[in-house]
Amino acid sequence: MADIAVVGSGVIGLTCAVRLAEAGHRVEVVSDLAPGDTVSAVAGGLWFPYLAAPADAVLRWAEVSLRRFRELAADPASGVWWREGVVLHRAADPDLSWTAAVPAHRAARRAELPPGAVSGVVCSLPVVDTAAYLGRLVERCARLGVAFRRAVVADPADLPQRVVVVAAGLRSGALVGDPALTPVRGQVVRLANPGLTRWLVDDDNPAGMAYVIPRGHDVVCGGTAEAGETGTTHDSAVERAILDRVTELEPRLRDAPVVSRAVGLRPARPAVRVDRVERAGQVVVSCYGHGGAGVTLSWGCAADVVDLLDG
């Protein structure tokens, strides 16, 4: 058993804390943000390996997470649903590598495609209400004896634990001296749900990426992927463009009132970093750079973090 500090309270940090505590370690989550204030709370919550590499590791991590979310979806209070939807394609040769992780999928029928789409993949995937789900992870941590401390960590060496897991999203780069981590700004608007259950993803939309993700009482509508942008102020013009795109895809959203809005900075990197180094007698395990796939890769990456420490 080791004393371990996990820096970061988003979905990656909390999932690592759960898995480490389940493995018998004493764990403390240290973060300057409450889970609901992290970029994880902004995420649309659909399992999908977006903006993450390398492909082989991402697929492996995503498969582990898919199995865990399938189990969680059996509990109505988990904040996880198992729902059918369609990924649209507007090019003749789309990247379908992600379907290798999905146990059942089929080609979309012509009637299921909006104008401009040339093909699509229909499948059932996890949809996660991130606010509710983060709360459940916190509850799971508490039952496992994980401690929480609000603090700004400037350097892992400042922590008393001999083992530190850096899972602080975009702040991770500064903590371990990694200049490869960059922000990708995302903006969403959440509409009251008029009764939708089927999600839709249209990343190739010529007017900009678009997705419609029905959860419980609301529908997450997005989105944007602005590499290098650091602002987190809501942009009303961007929102109008998002609504134009999503209502063209799903007309039933045209009169749906706005429930809430959010902007977040995805932590992007040429490759997700999950590794172990030793510095001045301290073991530092990095787990960051998940781009737009933090939820999607969370359980798989957390399993690797445990393996890096326990062998």
Which DSSP string corresponds to 162-202?
Answer: SEEEE--GGGHHHHHT-TT-EEEEEEEEEEE-SS---EEEE
pLDDT digits (tens, 9 = 90+) for 114-134: 989 999 999 999 999 999 999
pLDDT for 230 equals 96
Structure tokens given for 235: 């942009």
What Cα–Cα distance (Å) separates residue 177 from each residue in 30, 171, 173, 240? 19, 10, 5, 38
Measured distance CA(54)–CA(67) in Å, rounded: 20
Under the banding of pLDDT at 50, 70 and 90, the label for residue 150 is very high
Q: Is the pTM of this model over 0.95?
A: yes
What Cα–Cα distance (Å) separates residue 72 from each residue in 63, 77, 128, 160? 14, 9, 10, 34
Q: Is 46 helix (H, G, I), strand (E, B) or coil?
A: strand
What average pLDDT does this structure show over 125-150? Answer: 98
Measured distance CA(208)–CA(204) in Å, rounded: 7
The answer to whether 45 touches 128, Cβ cutoff 8 Å, is yes
Strands 273-279 and 282-288: antiparallel
What average pLDDT does this structure show over 86-104? Answer: 94
Strands 163-166 and 182-192: unpaired
Measured distance CA(3)–CA(30) in Å, rounded: 13
pLDDT digits (tens, 9 = 90+) for 20-38: 999 999 999 999 999 999 9
Q: Other CB atoms closer than 10 Å to residue 286's CB: what's the count?
A: 24
* Residue 94 clears pLDDT 90, i.e. is over it: yes
Under the banding of pLDDT at 50, 70 and 90, the label for residue 311 is confident
Contacts 24+ apart (CB under 8 A), 24-28: 25/1, 25/309, 26/1, 26/2, 26/145, 27/141, 27/144, 27/145, 27/146, 27/147, 28/3, 28/4, 28/146, 28/147, 28/148, 28/149, 28/161
What average pLDDT does this structure show over 194-222? Answer: 96
Under the banding of pLDDT at 50, 70 and 90, the label for residue 2 is confident
What average pLDDT does this structure show over 281-287? Answer: 97
Number of Cα atoms under 13 Å in the Cβ half of residue 116: 10
* Residue 1 clears pLDDT 80, i.e. is over it: no
Nearest-CA neighbor of 7 among 236, 205, 168, 244?
A: 168
What average pLDDT does this structure show over 81-107? Answer: 95
Helix, strand, coil shares of the chain, percent, nearest 5, are 35, 30, 35
Lowest model confidence (mean pLDDT) among 22-26, 92-96, 121-125, 256-260: 92-96
Under the banding of pLDDT at 50, 70 and 90, the label for residue 160 is very high
